[in-house]
Structure 1
Amino acid sequence: MTDFRHLSFWHATVPDDLTPRPALDGDREVDVAIVGGGLTGLWTAWYLLERDPSLSIAVLEKEIVGFGASGRNGGWCSALFPRSTASLERAHGREAALAMRRAMIDTVDEVGRVAASIGLDIDFVKGGTVAFARSGVQLDAARAEVAEAAGFGVDLVEFWGQDRVRAAGALGATFDPTCARLHPAKLVRGLARALEARGVSIVEGTEVVDYESRTVRTTRGTVRCRDVVVATEGYGATLPATRRRVLPLYSLMIATEPLPDTLWEEIGIEHGQTFTDFRHLLVYGQRTADNRFAFGGRGARYHWGSSIRSDYDRVPAVFDHLRRTLGEMFPAIGDAGVTHRWGGPLGVARDWHASANYDPSSGLASAGGYVGDGLSTTNLAGRTLADLITGADTALVALPWVNHRSPSWEPEPWRFLGANAGLTAMTVADAEEKVTGRASIAARLMGPLTGH
């Protein structure tokens, strides 16, 4: 039997024994069948019942609720969206871009509100994000980010001078207050329990092999329904219908042993704060409720054929790189030990544009393509899909990600070559900026492909 506590630090510390729920026991009929027991599916179920408490809903999960990115992520409940506001403006116009930005900002508080309303202690503290500028090039990028945010007039992004930051080599930073630190496994597992209390059926150990209008086929039976919600994110690459609509890109994390309060005061990261810097090969971190660093980043390669395997979750070279990077940013941690190492796939659309889709004629709904920004965006997806499915005429159904169709990813070998070339380009871009002291040409060329 799988020991799900080994999946991540979050799974190891959630107050839940992670015993799988019973599997589907044959054919079934419901109003709504949800494929995937992560946050997209669970939030959709939550808000569907808010709109129409009479609905019968079944959530179908291959492993356990929160097995994937919803339970393993960095714990950033942020207002970040995969495409920048400037990119959304170019694609959809200024008003649509600003509406999307406002919706994302509101979503951070909505997650905290719902968790509090059902008595979930998810370590939610809205402390904002500090993004360190650790070189002249990064300092220019930080100032440009503050200026861009001011130009849109929605965000309250601040510039912090060198006197306010303590990361090694930091020349300044930006501070975005619209981010909360939380414990993702506590959220996803607690939300599932609250849904069951409201009558939602959640079956685990039930693999979906295919779906179509009004029908979901599993290894344990067929579910017939009025609406199908596909909420598989990176795991959509394993289903025939979505194999080339999403690319599973791996992100890996480490957690340190708990550190004393005196050390955190020296480091300058407060409870509730998340942090990053302006490098191109993304890193992200938080101070956990029990005073650990939970720190992650990209760097693991894409695997041929969009394959997903448990051994891809752990790459020793990437873990070593993360520990070195954390020590470089905060030398005061010395030889603090790493207690947990983990990773997993996130979902990337071909144009790095998340979407929430619904076709009333077929009853097929889906959301995803969060590129790692899903801890909050899943909540907005759930509200949006609930409005679309129930026919509500709200501001959410007019947002620019609604019924957005991203191009399909190229077939192999082009997908393999392109995805790993992008990873290499970001690595090269950081090295290029260190050597030249100027903004990277490689990063500028990759920008349109990564939503910037």
Structure 2
Amino acid sequence: MSENDFPRTPAFANGGVSFWYRQAGLPEGRPALPGPREYDVCIVGGGYTGLWTAYYLKKARPDLRIAILEREFAGFGASGRNGGWLSAEIAGSKRRYAQRLGRESVVAFQQAMMAAIDEVIGVCDREGIDADIVKGGITHVATNPAQRRRLHAALKEDRGWGWGEEDLYLLSRDEREERLRVAGTLEAAHTPHCARIQPAKLAQGLAGAVERLGVDIFESTTVTEIRPRRGGAPATAVTDRGEVTAEYVIRATEGFTAGIAGQRRQWLPMNSSMIVTEPLGEDVWKHIGWHGRELLGDTAHAYIYAQRTADDRIAIGGRGVPYRFGSRWDDRGTTHPQTAAALQRMITRLFPAAADARIDHAWCGVLGVPRDWCSVVDLDRSTGLGKAGGYVGSGVTTTNLAGRTLADLVLGEDSELTQLPWVGRQVRQWEPEPLRWMGVQLIYALYRTADRRENDRLTGTSGYARLADLISGR
């Protein structure tokens, strides 16, 4: 059997945005921008970041006139395609953040991320958003000696950045067996600071809550350019349906940022893919466990992320084709069959009891990666332009914190959030093509080679991975 074969699954849904929308149903379209308009705040991008920003601004100042401009529909991008990890993981290097404002600022950042999980859950409760939320934490497993070393090193490092013993700890063999049985596990660490969500349900529920507050959401409206204030003219979002002027224009386009004029090298659109099985029966779950519905990750370089869904499927994701030349993306979510096959092999390896499970759906999406792999929140009061993003795959919780931080910045609040080390960071652009494409291909080839060598019982982290880290700037 070749690596391109997709065993036991002759046909499966591919793309169509994501399985999450297949399950929840695609939303009815909202009206497009009817022509030139003027607002107090214009938000470009109808994903989690834009929706949270609008939500907190409108809660704090009901009189503000706020518009969200979205090319497709609210929640169309990564917000409706991700792995459903509402986690406390900081997006980027803690050491790099500490270089700006010191260690204590990163500890405050970490605590703010932990608190943001409960903030999201609280908003869902208050707004009646049913997003299949279960706060069961995350278990990270190591399945070879090199991964085990990294797991221990990461635990030791995190203890220095605000994680207490009750926040992150190793599981005994008995605890692993009781929680989640993953074949080949040598060691596992657990944190309670994570909740499973159904991404599309959260996105659509939040969009509805924002509309009820009086925010205008315009869909099927493509923003082609964002202009700063100049010569007395306000900040402007230029669209295919007219210009929107505002005191502040916030860019919240994450992996689709390259579609804005002048932003092609700002954030790299990194591709990530997922598959989901058919619903599994109790005869399978009795072998796997997973009764607490915690999230699952590993410590490989080309890592996976997984959840047990509300209807008892395994949803698992990882990097497939990581980047397309010229910062292009497939916006319909179609993933390569060989990528889906690789993810299915991973299910078989980790969960032999699910080896015969049919794959029902495969999809992909893009996330935004800054050149230094650290996320950013910024507002320039002189130009009227703001932005947030670059979440490098850790965006579900981070978007809530970003939205609240942007709201404080717009309102001129000097808060604990506006003092966090990701605020106001400046990041250099990615290299021009073809260097950008060549670099990403090389990086992920090195990571995959490193994983293969470590699976062959290399006891320490492969030098190929160290070289990939050096090239990527992580």
Task: Say yes or no: TM over 0.5.
Answer: yes
User: Could you tell me how far 1:48 is from its partner in structure 2?
Assistant: 0.5
Structure 2: segments with no counterpart, 5+ residues: 1-12, 229-234
Instruction: State how far apart, in whole Å, the 2-side matches of 1:241 and 1:115 are.
Output: 36
Correspondences of 1:12-411 after superposition (within 5 Å): 12-14=22-24, 16-90=25-99, 92-155=101-164, 156-165=167-176, 166-213=181-228, 214-310=235-331, 313-411=334-432
2:433 matched residue in structure 1: 412
CA–CA separation in structure 2 for the residues paired with 1:321 and 1:59: 38
CA shift for structure 1 position 185: 0.5
- Give the counterpart letter for 2:23 in structure 1: T
SS across alignment from 2:217:
strand
Measured after TM superposition, the shift of residue 123 of structure 1 is 0.8
Deviates more, 1:307-316 or 1:206-215: 307-316
Report Cα offsets for 1:110-132 as digits up to 9, x if no partner. 11111111111111111011111
Cα separation, 1, equivalents of 2:292 and 2:336: 29
Write the distance in 2 (CA, Å) between the matches of 1:375 and 1:382: 11
Query: Do the aligned partners of 2:110 and 2:162 also contact (CA within 8 Å) in 1?
Result: no
Equivalent-residue separation in structure 2 for 1:260 and 1:367 (angstroms): 42
* SS of residue paired to 1:416: helix
- Equivalent residue of 1:127, what SS? coil
Task: Report the CA distance between 1:153 and its aligned residue.
Answer: 4.1
Q: Which residue of 2 aligns with 1:442?
A: 464
SS in 1 for 2:160: helix
SS in structure 2 at match of 1:350: coil
TM-score, L = length of structure 1? 0.95
Aligned-residue offset at 1:429: 1.2
Displacement, 1:43? 0.3
Describe the superposition over 1:133-167 as per-residue Cα deviations: whole angstroms up to 9, x where unpaired.
11111112222222222333434111013333321
Shift of 1:90: 4.7
1:426 has 2:447 as partner: yes
Q: Which AA in structure 2 matches 1:260?
A: G
- The separation in 1 between residues aligned to 2:68 and 2:162, in whole angstroms, is 40
Matched letter for residue 7 of structure 1:
V
* Paired residue secondary structure (2:209): helix
Gap change, CA 1:432 and 1:5, over 3 Å in 2: closer
**Worse-matched range after superposition: 437-446 or 83-92:** 83-92
Instruction: Give me the whole-angstrom Cα distance separating, in 2, the residues matched to 1:25 and 1:172.
Output: 57
Q: Which amino acid aligns with 1:164?
A: E
- Measured after TM superposition, the shift of residue 291 of structure 1 is 0.7
- Between 266-275 and 149-158, report the one with greater CA deviation: 149-158
How far 1:413 moved relative to its partner?
0.9
Do the aligned residues in 2 keep the contact of 1:352 with 1:449 (CA within 8 Å)? no
Q: Secondary structure at the match of 1:241?
A: coil
Q: In 2, distance between residues paired with 1:110 and 1:451?
A: 32
TM-superposed deviation, 1:405: 1.0
TM-score normalised by structure 2 residue count: 0.91
1:36, 1:231 within 8 Å by CA — same for their partners in 2? yes
Letter matched to residue 99 of structure 1: A
Task: Output the amino acid matched with 2:170.
Answer: F
Tell me the CA shift for residue 350 of structure 1. Answer: 0.5
- 1: distance between equivalents of 2:250 and 2:160? 37
- 1:7 aligned partner: 17
Residue 4 and residue 18 in structure 1: after superposition, are their counterparts in 2 closer, same or farther (change >3 A)?
Answer: farther
Percent identity of the aligned residues? Answer: 44
Q: Which amino acid aligns with 1:430?
A: D
Pairwise CA distance, 1:449:
5.8
